[in-house]
Structure 1
Amino acid sequence: MKEALDRQLARLRTRLAKTPLPRFFSWWGSELVACLPPRWRRIFSGNSETLLLQPTDEAILVLREHEKEISGFGQIAASASAEEQAAEFRSMRARIENPGLRTVLCVPESRALTRVLTLPAAAEDNLRQVLGFEMDRQTPFKADQVHFDSRIVSRDPATRSLRVELTVIPRGVLDPQIAAIAGGAIELDGVDVRSEGVDGVRRGVNLLPPERRARRRDMRLPLNLGLAALILILLVFNMSESLHNRALAVETMQAEVDKAAVAARDVLALKKTLQDSINGANFLAERKRNGPLLIALLDDLAFRLDDDTYLERLSVENNQIQLQGQAKNAAGLISVLTASPFLANPKLEGQIQPDPRTGKDRFTIVAEPKDVPVDQIIAHGPAKPAEPAADDVKTEKAQQGDAREASDGAP
């Protein structure tokens, strides 16, 4: 189960390595780390700082590699006991404040076998297993007789192939050398091949089997997980705050809208009250202006009706004038009232009933009021009876004179 999981992880790492994402994240991480203080840079740089152990006949040289720069750090006497060598190495290591400090044993290039192979690109997903099958063909050893590792030199997309540098060292050479360093008490993170001298270049492989490598706690994984959890928490908090702020803004706006609506309703109520007040104040004026002028109407009726006609009731209601009274000739009143400038469409309502007590006809006449301007009524006034002619006046005076003379001559 574990081997299958390792193979799947190896395939995922291989596919990820083919993308530009690793280079981008490497550049981005280096730029971010460069902005941190030195102590934090050492923590975040992880395995960028390494102690190199290079055994010689007289001593074990300890070199310090930091950001691809190698410098001498100290040495441990080869004649010292294993306990003294381990204690000396621990004291050296304690001088470097870097929890991710790695320890790598460097083997001279003369003791390792290096071959460059051309393999299909499909072999990259399971490269170590493929190299194990090719070991007896490419080297004089079998896979179980050596410690080996590889690194990809180049990829050729056109031919779908890759060039792999295979580094092999016999187990009989490497195992005794590991055991000779402090009796194997020093935990190693890897074994690499390096050229001679202080300024020698490392090959960049790890010949130490995975089960024999130092088990160190990689702080990057929990740190990355913690940062991811923190980012998630901050994101959720930010979203919740945004939603909360939006809800508050909506509530504030709703309160303002409700307040404006109440103010608008108050304005409408005040406007209606004002309009009602205006209408109430103008009601009587409108009724007086739109209705007939009663004084002028009474004056006109008094002028037009004969002396043997009198009114018992005069009412003006719902744009209708009603006349009730008694007259010698009630039917003839219609023609008389038609000539009135204040009445329109006069007509009898009901039947004419004779009154035996007075000997007259009781009538009810209804008519509609005419719109007569007040200024016209004031200017002209009601219609006046025609003046008698001059000859008629003279005749009437002569008759009156003859009558007086006849009365004077009488005995």
Structure 2
Amino acid sequence: MSLQTTIDFDLKRFFHWWGRELAFLVPNRLKSSLSDSSGAIVFSAADADFQINFYRQAEQQTPMTWRLDSNIADSYQTLKAQNPDFEKAESILRLDNTQALKKTIYLPAAAQENLQQVVGFELDRYTPFKAEQVYFAAIPLGKTEHGQIEVLLVFTPKTLLDEQLGKLQTLGIQPVLVDFCQACTACPANAPAYNLLPERYRPRGDALGQAVHWLLNGILLLLTLAVLIWPVWQEGRAVDVLKNQIKTLEKETRVIEEQQHETDALRQQTQRLIDIKAQSPALVAVLNELSILLKDDSWLTHFQFADKRLQIQGQSPAASSLIGLLESSGFFSNVSFVSPLTQDKATGRERFQISMDVSPPPAEPKSDTEATTSNHPSVTEPAENGDSTQ
């Protein structure tokens, strides 16, 4: 099978097969209670009379048989009165091999769309009769290996069939179907049904009944489609709702992530500032340390502190001794003169400019006495006058 192969799909045959398979699953008792038909009455010509075979069910193998005298007008009515099941049974006229013929022909595949018309135009090529001389039915059996369609042609002379139908009408019998006995064995089970009964003999159905029938079929089809489509549509709507919720959550998640990133950035900057502050001593502590180290005869004129680097300018009687004095402190390191020492003629002191690194001194561990004192409140002994102070 190649990609260029055309798939032949007959929708009518498919639904016919599908309905037959579904009907097979229905129990016979339920099927008989739901069906309006009580069976089938098959009339076959036997010399001048008719043989009647009554099939109560379609799959019944052995029918009930009677012989009907066509010369007695009310013979069928008498038989019908004795068998009430005949009232709802379908009447079928079955032709034998002396009344009809069959032939297998092969036609181009394009003829399948208008098969009856094509066969009617070329009937004289396949049979010794013309189209106006016979009643015929063309039954497609399928495609051959060469791309043609195999057709079973069933036909009967009009005069012969009209004579048989006239006798049945005289007996009060109106068949709904005319078939050929040998065509039943030649046609497969899935072949389309055929009917040799002329249009003028076919019973006219009730227009209202047909309208109701088609209406019910339409409602059944709509319900079937609803059962098949409704769950899928509901699932599709549920999926759309979930997709919209996911989109909303994704937007909210992105906003939260951006806020989280901003919070992390602020936390990092804050921590950096805290680290810088922790690594740098307080300026008040530096000033306090300088005030302790420098004597009263020394003073500062300039003070500059940036990036853990301190630079001071001032005057002192012995500025050269300030280097060692400052390096002895735990706050200062890398102490050095920035410029040479000069003497102020007005005060007689040496001008100095010193630069140094500033870092907080390491915390000294508390002694046991200090720890005990910090953990317990101090209590003083009572004074001589009896007063106490805490």
TM-score higher than 0.5? yes
Secondary structure of the 1:244 match is: helix
**3-state SS of 2:196 partner:** coil
Tell me which residue corresponds to 1:63: 54
How far residue 104 of structure 1 moved from its aligned partner, in angstroms, is 1.7
How far does residue 67 in structure 1 lie from its aligned partner after superposition?
Answer: 3.1
The answer to whether the 8 A contact 2:102-2:153 is kept is yes
What residue number does 1:33 align with? 23
Determine whether 1:206 maps to 2:205: no
Q: Could you tell me which of 138, 147, 155 is aligned with 2:135?
A: 147
- The whole-number CA distance in structure 1 between the counterparts of 2:76 and 2:42 is 19
Larger radius of gyration: 1
Aligned pairs for 1:274-293 within 5 A: 285-288=278-281
Change (3 A) 1:220 1:71: farther
Taking the TM superposition and a 5 Å limit, the aligned residue runs for 1:223-242 are: 226=219, 228-242=221-235
Quick check: 1:63–1:70 contact (8 Å CA) kept in 2? no
Scaled by the length of structure 2, what TM-score is found?
Answer: 0.57
| Partner Cα distance (1:327, 1:152) in 2 | 130
CA drift at 1:191: 1.6
Residue 66 of structure 1 aligns to a residue whose secondary structure is: coil
CA 1:365–1:93 in structure 2 vs 1: closer, same or farther (change >3 Å)? farther
Contact 2:42/2:54 (<8 A) preserved? yes
Answer whether contact 1:311 1:325 (CA < 8 A) is retained: yes
Q: Secondary structure at the match of 1:288?
A: coil
Give 2:156's aligned amino acid. Answer: V
**Does residue 311 of structure 2 align to residue 311 of structure 1?**
no
Partner of 1:389: none
**C-alpha spacing 1:163/1:80, structure 2 compared with 1 (3 Å):** closer
Deviation at 1:66, TM superposition (A): 0.8
Pairs within 5 Å for 1:71-150: 71-72=63-64, 78=70, 79-81=72-74, 84=77, 92-95=85-88, 102-110=90-98, 112-114=99-101, 116=103, 118-121=105-108, 125=112, 127-129=115-117, 131-133=119-121, 141-150=129-138
The one-letter code of the counterpart of 2:93 is L
Two-structure CA RMSD over aligned residues (Å): 5.7
**Residues 352-363 of structure 1 mapped to structure 2, 5 A cutoff:** 359-360=347-348
- 2:377 match: none
SS in 2 for 1:106: strand
The answer for the alignment partner of 1:409 in structure 2 is none
- For the 8 Å contact 1:63–1:71, the answer to whether it is kept is yes
How many residues end up aligned between the 2 structures?
A: 337
| Matched-pair contact (CA < 8 Å) for 1:346–1:365 | yes
Give the structure with the higher percent helix: 1
After TM superposition, the structure 1 stretch with the greater mean CA deviation from structure 2, 177-186 or 271-280, is 271-280
| Cα distance in 1 for residues equivalent to 2:264 and 2:358 | 35
1:94 deviation in Å? 4.3
- 1:194 Cα offset (Å): 3.8
For 1:181, the equivalent position in structure 2 comes to: 168
Please tell me whether the aligned partners of residues 62 and 73 of structure 1 are also in contact (alpha carbons under 8 angstroms): yes
* % identical aligned pairs: 20
- 2:41 aligned to which of 38, 51, 54: 51
Cα distance in 2 for partners of 1:159, 1:236 equals: 37
Q: Which of 193, 196, 221 in structure 1 is aligned with 2:180?
A: 193
**Stretches of structure 1 lacking an aligned partner (at least 5 in a row):** 1-14, 97-101, 377-411
Residues 341-372 of structure 1 deviation map (CA, whole Å, 9 limit, x = unaligned): 236344469x99765xxx45696846333558
The DSSP-based 3-state class of the residue aligned with 1:34 is: helix
After TM superposition, give the deviation of residue 130 of structure 1 in Å.
Answer: 5.2
Residues 346 and 38 of structure 1: CA distance in aligned 2, closer, same or farther (over 3 Å): farther
Change (3 A) 1:289 1:43: farther
3-state SS in 2 of match to 1:208:
coil
